[in-house]
Structure 1
Amino acid sequence: MNVRDAVESDLPEILEIYNDAVLNTTAIWNEAEVDLENRRTWLKERQRQGFPVIVGIDDLGRVTGYASFGDWRAFAGYRHTVEHSVYVNREMRGAGIGRTLMLALIDRARQLRKHVMIAGIEANNEASIRLHKQLGFETVGYLPEVGTKFGKWLNLTFLQITLDRGAPH
């Protein structure tokens, strides 16, 4: 699998992956599908802010998954902390795509001199939590029943990884 920056022609496949997660998982706590213009605006805004959007591409040129990060909170004091998202095509989950995208995303965060990366994961998503821990993330918080989807309350686990140990810059 090749990892590269997303381009506009990737958006239909990104949209398909995103909407599948909306409709069928608790990875995204939205309940309404979005359209191509929504993803186009999202990509342009991430790029404008200097945040990466990366895609995994298989040997046939298909988008296998995508990942990005952005501001964790919108206050200047948090400028060295980002929160990320990683989504994999449902037919390709469990093949190491998420891990590959995560490693590339962590590398990009270090290149941008970010200090901490945050993961907010639905507490029952054991596979995602396990992957994050394997990559060096530590559990730092648990918020019970802070979301809802599919007619049930959802719990949120926060994990984080410290990307550098240097002084603030």
Structure 2
Amino acid sequence: MEDMRITYCSYEQHAGEMLDIFNDAILNTTALYEYEPRTMAVMEQWFESKTQGDYPVIGAFDDNGRLMGFASFGKFREQPAFQFTVEHSIYVSGDFRGQGVAMELMKTIIVLASRQGYRSLIGAIDLENIASLRLHQKFGFEEVGVIKNAGYKFERWLDLAFYQLALDI
């Protein structure tokens, strides 16, 4: 998509649009293993944790300034030995899926993680999310494990795949 701009997001300017995208994913997909819609208070805490951890939040915007999708990464696990591994997430508005938004966000998130000195980027992906699995494979992520029956949503058990990209730093 030609008229796409990638830039950093802030709570004040973008949390409302991001909340809509999160809640659509929660209510209608298996991309998030959550049941209840998030609130603006949750978004405030989410942005605060990203700021505290020096984790970027980036958005893809169309030429009208509308948020098409966003991405971030954060702590993979709590223990200090995991400090060079981060888990990323990418969410695209239903209105813009299939238009290359996730590709542009992924390119940027990989660059940012590399620049910050991380060695591994981890994606936790529901096995039903074929679009996300293909996206990760296109960027050279490798499947490093599947947790069967990891989650239960929409009256069925869900399998969670872990994909890893070793970053060249």
Distance in structure 2 (CA, Å) of the matches to 1:135 and 1:95: 17
For residues 40 and 100 of structure 1, the distance between their equivalents in structure 2, rounded to whole angstroms, comes to 25
Q: Where does residue 51 of structure 2 map in the other structure?
A: 47
1:16-54 deviation per Cα after TM superposition (whole angstroms, max 9, x unaligned): 000000000000000000111211221121011100111
1:2 corresponds to: 5
Partner of 1:120: 124
Provide TM-score, normalisation by structure 1: 0.95
Does residue 58 of structure 1 match 2:68?
Answer: no
- May I ask how many residue pairs the two structures share in their alignment? 165
Please show how residues 10-21 of structure 1 align to structure 2 within 5 Å.
Answer: 10-21=14-25
In the alignment, structure 1 segments of 5+ residues that lack a partner are none
Equivalent residues of 2:141, 2:165 under 8 A apart: yes
Identity %, equivalent residues = 39
Name structure 2 gaps, 5 residues minimum.
none
Please state whether the residue corresponding to 2:136 is helix, strand or coil. helix
Summarize the alignment of residues 16-165 of structure 1 with structure 2, pairs less than 5 Å apart. Answer: 16-164=20-168
Between the aligned partners of 2:43 and 2:35, the Cα distance in structure 1 is 16
Can you list the C-alpha shifts for 1:54-113, whole angstroms capped at 9, x where unaligned?
Answer: 111110000100101001101110000000110000111000000100110010000100
Runs of 4 or more, structure 1, over 3 Å off, are: none
- Mapped partners of 1:86, 1:48: distance in 2: 20
Q: How big is the alpha-carbon RMSD for the aligned residues of Structure 1 and Structure 2? A: 0.8
